[in-house]
Each structure stands twice: as C-alpha cells, then as structure tokens.
C-alpha cells in the first residue's frame, strides 16, 4: 500500500501565506500530497475556499488554525484541528486577537516609518481582505518599497528590535485558555514547533505535562525549526504521554523558504487525529477514507 502523504501545517493569504487557499490546494496536489491541513493564524476565513478547492483537486483537507499563546515571556504556538467554527467563545477570541494585532502592527509601522517613511497604507496594501495582520505584512511592505530584498531579510534587519528593546505585544491567550477553547470547540490541540528558537527555549518535561493535563493531544516534532538534537527527547516525552507526533512544512508560499511536504505526518497518526476531533468534518476522498479506516483505533 502506498504511504499516505500528509502535511499538517500550512498558511494561506488569509494570514501570512502568499497563496489563496485554492492555489495552496493545487500546490498540494502538485507536491503529491494526499492530505493538507490549512492552519492560518487566528482565523478560519480560508476554510470555505479551501474546502471547495480540496474537492476539486482530490486532496484531503483538515481544517485548522494556529494560535499564538503567551505566558510570561514564553510564547507557544498551538495548532487546533477540526474545531467547530461556529463556537462563539472561539469566534470572540479570534476577533479579540485580530483587533489587537492590528493595533500592534500600527505601532510597529509607525516606529519603522520614522526611519524608512513606511506608511500604514503601504502595509494595508500587503494584506489580503481581512486576513490576520502580522509583522510578515510589514516585512512585505518594506520589500515592496525596496528597503529589503525579501521578507526573511526584513525580519532580520528592520523588524528586529535593537537589543534591550521589546516589540509591542498583541493580546495572546495563555496556553491554558487556548487549550480549553480548542477542546471546548471539539478540536485537537497540537503544540507547534516546540523547539523553535524564537519561542524562548524548549518546553520542559513539567511544562509539557501541565499542557497534557490541560488537554494537549499532540506535538509537532518533524518541523524545520526543531533542532535535530532536540527531536528525540521531545518525541520520547510525547510518547510517554501518548501524544500524537506530527510533521509539517509550515508552508507560507513565497513568504518563507519552507517547501510544501518537506515534513510529513504518518498515516496511523493522521487516522488517530481524525478520530479525536469532532468540531468540524475533514474533507477526504472516499478512497483515502477507506484506507485510513484500516488503521487501529487505539
Ligand atoms: P508576528 O506574529 O506578527 O510577531 O510575526 C511573527 C510571525 O511571522 C511568526 O509566526 C513567523 O512564523 C512569521 N513569519 C512569516 N514569514 C516569516 C519570515 N520570512 N521570517 C520570519 N518570520 C516569518
Ligand atoms: Fe505564520
Ligand atoms: Fe507558528
Ligand atoms: Zn505556522
């Protein structure tokens, strides 16, 4: 039996990816993926287009979202798969985060504008519709006016606060709150790229245990930002708690060098994830649904 190729973390232009959900699903097909999860930051607005495109392309779709959470100086990103988009607590939280992100982006733009002349209108021009605004769009505006060659360089140069200075913060839920919102909406929470250098250090065993008690169901291990040397320890911790171990590209179109399908999640894990979530259905071609049913339910 051919392996099932699934990439469980991608972004579209509904947040800081550069492709529409339709383009993303077609790119998934071209990358020979069987399943892709759309996990835009703090919004589900790309799901509808993604569903239609998944049916057209014959690619499986797991609707999801990525939350940025904060506790103290630590940020943790949490993926929420198969959440109920009609859950009112979740919808209110998305609105709160997204509004706060806009206010923060305006502050950063004003600051960067002092030296570059960058205006809020130029940033707005980089944001598709009512997509979730972030520093990536400010970076794109700097690229558009020729102040940086690409988004990643803009992040490393003009968008990097001088040492000792902190970026203004946007409202972010605590991990506790995000976990409870995701579980409350029937979703499957997975800790995204826990080894990412930008997160403020690897989670400790005690920290992960606390997350598990609060409802965490998985950890993203195969991700380019997890240092190779940390993966075995993270996987061991995850296994001890019976967590899902996932892999993904965290694709952002041309916004990041990450290539679609560069890391994958195995079929048995995918089958378990699908059984754990009940807030919204996944789109799965019939043939794939049958193949996934062959995996043990444990
Ligand atoms: P923000 O959440 O607004 O502070 O922006 C940080 C986010 O930008 C992180 O979640 C990154 O994943 C994302 N991002 C997107 N493209 C890039 C890039 N090329 N370089 C660095 N970060 C990026
Ligand atoms: Fe992103
Ligand atoms: Fe992330
Ligand atoms: Zn992401």
What is the rounded distance in angstroms from the CA atom of residue 256 to the CA atom of residue 227? 18
What is the rounded distance in angstroms from the CA atom of residue 55 to the CA atom of residue 13? 20
Residue nearest to atom 19 of ligand 1 (CA): 152
* 203 backbone dihedrals φ, ψ, rounded to 5°: -65, 140
Q: Which of 17, 97, 112, 134 should be mutated for ligand 1, with most atoms under 8 A from CB?
A: 134
Report whether residue 222 contacts ligand 1, using a CB cutoff of 6 Å.
Answer: no
At residue 260, the 3 state secondary structure works out as coil
pLDDT tier at 298, thresholds 50, 70, 90? low
What is the rounded distance in angstroms from the CA atom of residue 209 to the CA atom of residue 240? 10
Q: How high is the pLDDT of residue 1?
A: 64
Per residue in 53-95, pLDDT (tens digit) is: 999 999 999 999 999 999 988 899 999 999 999 999 999 999 9
- 216 C-alpha to ligand 1 centroid (Å): 24
For residue 65, the ligand closest to its alpha carbon is 4
Report whether residue 151 contacts ligand 1, using a CB cutoff of 6 Å.
Answer: yes
Per residue in 126-145, pLDDT (tens digit) is: 999 999 999 999 999 999 99
Report whether residue 16 contacts ligand 1, using a CB cutoff of 6 Å.
Answer: yes
- In this predicted structure, the answer to whether residue 200 has a pLDDT above a threshold of 90 is no
Residue predicted with more confidence, 197 or 246: 246
What is the rounded distance in angstroms from the CA atom of residue 75 to the CA atom of residue 70? 4
Report whether residue 153 contacts ligand 1, using a CB cutoff of 6 Å.
Answer: no
- In this predicted structure, the answer to whether residue 272 has a pLDDT above a threshold of 80 is yes
- In this predicted structure, the answer to whether residue 34 has a pLDDT above a threshold of 70 is yes
Q: Which residues pair with 70 in a beta bridge?
A: 75
Q: What residues have CB less than 8 Å from 88, skipping those under 6 apart?
A: none
What is the rounded distance in angstroms from the CA atom of residue 44 to the CA atom of residue 33? 22
- pTM to 2 decimals? 0.96
Q: How high is the pLDDT of residue 64?
A: 98
Q: What mean pLDDT is predicted for residues 112-118? A: 95
- 291 C-alpha to ligand 1 centroid (Å): 36
Q: How high is the pLDDT of residue 72?
A: 87
Nearest to 239 by CA among 273, 212, 207: 212
Retrieve residue 128's tokens. Answer: 């598709």
Q: How high is the pLDDT of residue 82?
A: 98
How big is the CA angle at 285 (ends 282 and 288), to the nearest 5 degrees? 95
Nearest to 272 by CA among 230, 234, 244: 244
Q: What is the mean pLDDT of the chain?
A: 95
């Amino acid at each position: 039996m051919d392996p099932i190729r699934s990439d469980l973390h991608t972004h579209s232009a509904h947040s800081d990816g550069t492709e529409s959900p339709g383009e993303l699903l077609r790119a998934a097909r071209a990358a020979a993926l069987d399943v892709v999860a759309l996990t835009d930051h703090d919004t589900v607005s790309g799901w509808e287009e993604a569903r239609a495109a998944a049916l057209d392309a014959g690619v499986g779709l797991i609707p999801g979202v990525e939350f940025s959470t904060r506790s103290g100086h630590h940020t943790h990103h949490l993926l929420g798969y198969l959440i109920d988009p009609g859950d009112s607590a979740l919808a209110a939280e998305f609105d709160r985060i997204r509004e706060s992100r806009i206010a923060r982006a305006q502050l950063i733009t004003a600051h960067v504008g002092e030296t570059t002349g960058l205006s809020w209108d130029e940033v707005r021009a980089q944001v598709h519709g009512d997509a979730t605004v972030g520093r990536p769009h400010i970076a794109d505006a700097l690229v558009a006016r020729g102040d940086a060659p690409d988004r990643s360089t803009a992040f490393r140069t003009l968008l990097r606060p001088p040492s000792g200075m902190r970026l203004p913060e946007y409202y972010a839920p605590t991990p506790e709150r995000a976990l409870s919102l995701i579980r409350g909406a029937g979703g499957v929470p997975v800790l995204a790229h826990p080894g990412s250098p930008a997160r403020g250090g690897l989670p400790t065993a005690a920290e992960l245990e606390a997350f598990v008690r609060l409802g965490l169901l998985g950890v993203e291990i195969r991700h380019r930002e997890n240092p190779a040397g940390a993966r075995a320890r993270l996987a061991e911790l995850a296994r001890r708690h019976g967590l899902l171990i996932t892999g993904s590209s965290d694709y952002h179109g041309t916004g990041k060098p990450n290539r679609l399908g560069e890391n994958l999640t195995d079929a048995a894990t995918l089958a378990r994830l699908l059984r754990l979530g009940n807030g919204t259905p996944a789109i799965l071609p019939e043939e794939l649904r049958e193949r996934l049913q062959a995996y043990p339910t444990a």
